[in-house]
């Protein structure tokens, strides 16, 4: 078996379109029934935003894995390993190690002090209005970048999985995905969204497990032989060594450091991940959630190592690169090679469900931040009742859904892969320093928070705009002009230290001291759970 380069007939993939659609339709039908059943108890704001804080640690941990393992993780990392070998694997390690920041420094303390959003924690002991507005703006920015990346990615997935290559057909599918997402979030709120994540995560991990087992079985459960197969098909021993993608030049090496920094420090500050910690009843369950998600995500990335090298060995990098969908087609092509149309249909449906679920999670986070932070606490100055707030949140869901559809249609075909990296960089620069300082640094003040959040947000966005991903090269978003004065594609290595520095500088230059009573309250509550929001009883 080893050494044989099998032919995968890419044209045959189109014949499976109907099967793919049928399996995806089944997923939608089953999850919709569950969402409707789960949402019967949605009465209050805590129900809508935080699922009544009624999920268990393992359930929430599975949902977090579902939120985190986006199509970019599954298709992107498998494809990156299949084509760039070892460097794709390095990418997945950053995504996993990052969870230790969430486990050690953020999850439990946040659960104990906050209510619904990230801004609840950041504005706890500082001045409400300015800090809440800044936190909401950065939440909305991260959600918007991430959402746009997912919706744009949907277009290229469609061309691969459903064989729809014309612009109008792809636009129609993007509209269907967006409309389904709006329905899930409107009807189900956080409870429904969480169930969609749980089901999707289980299907994704099960599918990847079956494929991993299959690939390993082909190579007699010998990892070394599998790697040998990849080397032989690629005819290049370097696929096993670092450097194929990031080792090209000094700039690309530095770029990888910058990306690594953003991944490791950004994950624990992604608003849609933070919001998931409010769906459990206690800090201890929040800890259990992270433990579960670390195991599931770690296991999944070990699978992608086998799948990536499996695709390199059994399908071959050349076939993958020329298939519709390019790098993203590695996992589907491998599924087709192993299990024929049925396994391809299953994997394709799971990839679709992944986009749907991740988009739903982002939308409810953005809507909660707008309704709870901007509307209820800033516009209505805390006088809005919970019903009005949830009503505003629901309307925001519709607006965001429509924006996502329109953005997705226009971004379709554009090279917007940098948006996911940008979302992580913004989270790590604008959010993480303020989260860490306000939880652990007694002296931290409002001015420090404002400088750090706006400074981190602005520097990350400006540096990306001035980087080669936006202009100047063949792979840029705008190829015709060149204003790329910043050489790196990832701004983290500059913007993250800058935001930490600004938080410190703003604080030491601040003549006003913050309320020490509030600081004491936050510290005691974060560590002991006194007065933490309880689960809703129905």
Interface region with another protein, contact rule CB under 8 A, candidates 185-193, 236-244, 447-455, 481-489 = 236-244
Interaction mask 421-460, another protein, x per CB under 8 A: -------------------x--------------------
Among 167, 379, 385, 485, interactor with another protein by CB under 8 A: 385
96 binds another protein (CB under 8 A): yes
Cβ-contact 65, 194 below 8 angstroms: no
DSSP string, 130-188: HHHHHHHHHHHHHHHHHHHHHHHHHHHHHHHHT---SHHHHHHHHHHHHHHHHHHHHHH
Among 58, 339, 487, 529, interactor with another protein by CB under 8 A: 529
Task: Count interface residues toward another protein (CB under 8 A).
Answer: 67
Indicate the residue among 94 and 271 with the shorter CB distance to another protein. Answer: 94
Cβ-contact 203, 354 below 8 angstroms: no
Among 67, 285, 373, 389, interactor with another protein by CB under 8 A: 389
Residues whose CB is less than 8 angstroms from the CB of residue 256 and which lie 6 or more positions away in sequence, other chains included: 87, 90, 246
Indicate the residue among 82 and 347 with the shorter CB distance to another protein. Answer: 82
525 binds another protein (CB under 8 A): yes
Among 144, 214, 246, 418, interactor with another protein by CB under 8 A: 246
520 binds another protein (CB under 8 A): yes
DSSP string, 364-430: HHHHHIIIIIIIIIIISTT-S-HHHHHHHHHHHHHHHHHHHHHHHHHHTTS--THHHHHHHHHIIII
- The 3-class secondary structure across 51-81, one letter per residue, is HHHCCCHHHHHHHHHHHHCCHHHHHHHHHHH
Cβ-contact 53, 279 below 8 angstroms: yes
Interaction mask 164-203, another protein, x per CB under 8 A: ----------------------------------------
Gyration radius (Cα) of the chain, Å:
23
Among 384, 428, 430, 502, interactor with another protein by CB under 8 A: 384
218 binds another protein (CB under 8 A): no
Residues whose CB is less than 8 angstroms from the CB of residue 474 and which lie 6 or more positions away in sequence, other chains included: none
Interface region with another protein, contact rule CB under 8 A, candidates 25-33, 284-292, 355-363, 497-505 = 284-292
Residue 204's H or E segment, with its range, is helix 167-218
Among 6, 25, 220, 531, interactor with another protein by CB under 8 A: 531
Interface region with another protein, contact rule CB under 8 A, candidates 218-226, 403-411, 456-464, 483-491 = 218-226
- The span from the CA of 364 to the CA of 272, in Å, is 8
Interaction mask 29-68, another protein, x per CB under 8 A: ---------------xxx----------------------
514 binds another protein (CB under 8 A): no
- The span from the CA of 130 to the CA of 66, in Å, is 33
Indicate the residue among 31 and 304 with the shorter CB distance to another protein. Answer: 304
CB 116, min distance to another protein, A: 9
The strand pairing partners of 471, in sequence order, are 478
Indicate the residue among 109 and 134 with the shorter CB distance to another protein. Answer: 109
- The span from the CA of 17 to the CA of 20, in Å, is 5
Interface region with another protein, contact rule CB under 8 A, candidates 252-260, 311-319, 358-366, 471-479 = 252-260
302 binds another protein (CB under 8 A): yes
Among 225, 394, 466, 487, interactor with another protein by CB under 8 A: 225
Residues whose CB is less than 8 angstroms from the CB of residue 158 and which lie 6 or more positions away in sequence, other chains included: 164, 169, 170, 173, 174
295 binds another protein (CB under 8 A): yes
Indicate the residue among 3 and 382 with the shorter CB distance to another protein. Answer: 382
538 binds another protein (CB under 8 A): no
157 binds another protein (CB under 8 A): no
Residues whose CB is less than 8 angstroms from the CB of residue 291 and which lie 6 or more positions away in sequence, other chains included: 57, 61, 103
CA distances from residue 135 to 26, 129, 148, 439 in whole angstroms, order as listed: 39, 10, 20, 15
Residues whose CB is less than 8 angstroms from the CB of residue 154 and which lie 6 or more positions away in sequence, other chains included: 173, 174, 177, 355, 408, 412
386 binds another protein (CB under 8 A): yes
205 binds another protein (CB under 8 A): no
224 binds another protein (CB under 8 A): yes
CA distances from residue 377 to 243, 250, 265, 332 in whole angstroms, order as listed: 49, 48, 28, 46
Residue 280 is classified by DSSP as S
CB 291, min distance to another protein, A: 6
Site residues (vs another protein, CB under 8 A):
44-46, 86, 89-90, 93-94, 96-97, 99-101, 103-105, 222-225, 227-228, 231, 240-243, 246-247, 253, 256-257, 260, 264, 284, 287, 290-291, 294-295, 298, 301-302, 376, 382, 384-387, 389-390, 440, 516-517, 520-521, 523-525, 527-531, 533-534, 536
């Amino acid at each position: 078996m080893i050494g044989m380069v099998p032919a995968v007939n890419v044209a045959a993939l189109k014949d499976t379109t109907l099967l793919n659609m049928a399996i995806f339709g089944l997923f939608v039908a089953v999850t919709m029934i569950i969402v409707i059943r789960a949402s019967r108890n949605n009465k209050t704001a805590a129900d809508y935003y935080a699922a009544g804080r009624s999920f268990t640690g393992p359930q929430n941990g599975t949902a977090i894995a579902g939120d985190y393992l986006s199509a970019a993780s599954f298709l992107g990392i498998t494809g990156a390993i299949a084509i760039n070998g070892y460097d794709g694997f390095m990418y997945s390690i950053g995504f996993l190690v990052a969870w230790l920041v969430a486990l050690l420094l953020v999850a439990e303390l946040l659960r104990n002090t906050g209510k619904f959003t990230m801004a609840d924690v950041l504005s706890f002991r500082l001045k409400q209005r300015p800090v809440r507005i800044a936190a909401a703006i950065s939440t909305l920015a991260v959600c918007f970048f991430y959402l746009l990346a997912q919706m744009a990615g949907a277009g290229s997935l469609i061309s691969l999985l459903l064989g729809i290559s014309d612009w109008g057909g792809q636009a129609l599918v993007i509209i269907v995905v967006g409309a389904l997402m709006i329905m899930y979030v409107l009807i189900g709120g956080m409870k429904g969204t969480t169930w969609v994540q749980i089901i999707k995560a289980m299907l994704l991990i099960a599918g990847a497990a079956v494929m991993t087992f299959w690939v390993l079985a082909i190579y007699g459960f010998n990892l070394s032989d599998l790697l040998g197969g990849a080397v032989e098909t690629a005819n290049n021993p370097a696929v096993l060594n670092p450097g194929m993608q990031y080792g090209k030049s000094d700039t690309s090496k530095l770029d990888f450091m910058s990306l690594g920094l953003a991944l490791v420090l950004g994950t624990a500050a992604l608003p849609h991940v933070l919001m998931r910690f409010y769906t459990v009843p206690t800090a201890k369950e929040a800890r259990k959630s992270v433990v579960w998600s670390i195991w599931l995500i770690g296991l999944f990335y070990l699978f992608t190592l086998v799948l990536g090298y499996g695709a390199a060995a059994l399908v071959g990098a050349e076939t993958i690169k020329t298939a519709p969908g390019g790098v993203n087609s590695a996992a589907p092509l491998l599924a087709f090679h192993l299990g024929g149309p049925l396994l391809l249909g299953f994997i394709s449906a799971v990839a679709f469900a992944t986009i749907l679920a991740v988009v739903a999670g982002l939308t409810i986070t953005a809507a909660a931040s707008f309704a709870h932070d901007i509307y209820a606490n800033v516009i209505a100055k805390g006088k809005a009742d919970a019903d009005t707030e949830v009503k505003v949140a629901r309307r925001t869901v519709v607006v965001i859904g429509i924006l996502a559809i329109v953005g997705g249609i226009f971004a379709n075909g554009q090279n917007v892969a940098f948006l996911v990296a940008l979302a992580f960089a913004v989270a790590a620069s604008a959010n993480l320093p303020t989260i860490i300082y306000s939880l652990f640094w007694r002296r931290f003040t409002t001015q420090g928070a404002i400088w750090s959040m706006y400074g981190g947000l602005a520097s990350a966005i400006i540096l990306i705009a001035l980087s080669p991903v936006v202009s100047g090269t063949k792979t840029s978003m705008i190829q015709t002009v060149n204003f790329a004065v910043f050489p790196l594609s990832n701004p983290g290595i500059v913007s993250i230290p800058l935001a930490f520095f600004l938080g410190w500088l703003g604080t030491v230059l601040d003549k006003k001291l913050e309320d020490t009573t509030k600081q004491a309250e936050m510290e005691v509550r974060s560590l002991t759970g006194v007065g933490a929001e309880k689960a809703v009883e129905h």
